[in-house]
Amino acid sequence: MALLITDKCINCDMCDPECPNDAISMGDDIYEIDPARCTECKGHYEKPTCQSVCPITNCIILDPDHVETEEALLEKFVVLQGMA
Ligand code: SF4
Ligand code: SF4
């Protein structure tokens, strides 16, 4: 499952540079996560690093519209590594 930045985001810019997949960027009003690039940090970290660095509680959540298995997330990680 990709993660989703909610409208609790205060545009503090903490998460963007920490994402190992360059999945986070500034959107029209708040930061956004590209679900095609978010692996929940699988392959890089034990848990989503954007959630770890975000100062706002429950600002970054699991995206119910992008449900993926662990295998799918790891496959995405491998594909993204090949593109790096
Ligand atoms: Fe990037 Fe990891 Fe957050 Fe996904 S969970 S947006 S890969 S930092
Ligand atoms: Fe928004 Fe949280 Fe990212 Fe800051 S760390 S820009 S509050 S999602």
Tokens 């662990």 identify what position?
Answer: 70
The rounded distance, in Å, linking the Cα atoms of 40 and 1 is 7
Continuous segment of H or E residues that includes residue 50: helix 49-53
pLDDT in tens, the chain (84 residues): 799 999 999 999 999 999 999 999 999 999 999 999 999 999 999 999 999 999 999 999 999 999 999 999 999 999 999 875
Ligand 2 cavity residues, CB under 6 Å: 5, 9-15, 31, 53-54, 56, 59-60
**Which residues sit opposite 3 in a β-bridge?**
62
The rounded distance, in Å, linking the Cα atoms of 54 and 66 is 21
- Tell me how far the alpha carbon of residue 24 lies from the centroid of ligand 1, in angstroms: 7
Give me the pLDDT at residue 83, please. 72
Tally of domains within the chain: 1
Tokens linked to 69: 């298995």
- Tell me how far the alpha carbon of residue 37 lies from the centroid of ligand 1, in angstroms: 8
CATH of the domain at 37: 3.30.70.20
Give me the pLDDT at residue 84, please. 58
Q: What is the pTM for the complete model shown?
A: 0.94
Q: Range of 74's domain? A: 3-80
